[in-house]
Structure 1
């Protein structure tokens, strides 16, 4: 079944072959023996994808989410659905997995950036549901507010 992006356009399929660096945390050879390295690598990948979303949004006019920002958030959504085994037919919360004990145990220093980035991504996706111009304006103000907070804290 073909996949569609947030704009309803058909997407080119991405290879579903997993690489060793894209294993879910529970797929590691010994899930009970997760190492600090494995967990930090997992969240570092997520941070890189979040940074890509924010970087692309940074170059967009304030009233829209352009093709590159859309591609970045779709890549993040694909990655999250893949590594967390989330269903395709349900809305994605970009704060998913923040209650994982591994995050606080091994990557607590990454949590704030993850949370700021998730707020940006959640606000972007909300903007796709705007039915009226004033709703889109308000949603894009929210995107810009979260993006400005992210950039002030983590810069690009």
Structure 2
């Protein structure tokens, strides 16, 4: 197959601004159905309230985002959610049902905030999240040609 004539599909650039030291991203657009994700919106509202009630609102921003591309087609409900922060590992979890208690999401938020680099073993995650881990991505650190971190 000749890929030399193939060109990437142009899509608008997309980014989510981050105003707090840590951010929790909740998928709220379903790429499989081409519409907004009601379970995602429900989880977003529930998680915002729980983060505030846990006294973590000054450390975590909870934001909705476009499709995080981690869900299973025609699964019908559970959500994809991610944690990120500057110079920390990014975590992505799938199959998070907004109808379930979210204590484990708050527990993970506390663990994540306490770690300098956000890196932990899957065994250290709350049990439900351990089973639903989609990705643990190391933090990116831009380096200058001389090997020093770019700030």
TM-score (norm 1): 0.28
TM-score (norm 2): 0.28
Which one has the bigger helix percentage?
1
Which is higher, the Rg of structure 1 or of structure 2? 2
Which one has the bigger strand percentage?
2
Structure ranking higher on relative contact order (CA contacts 8 Å, 6+ apart): 1
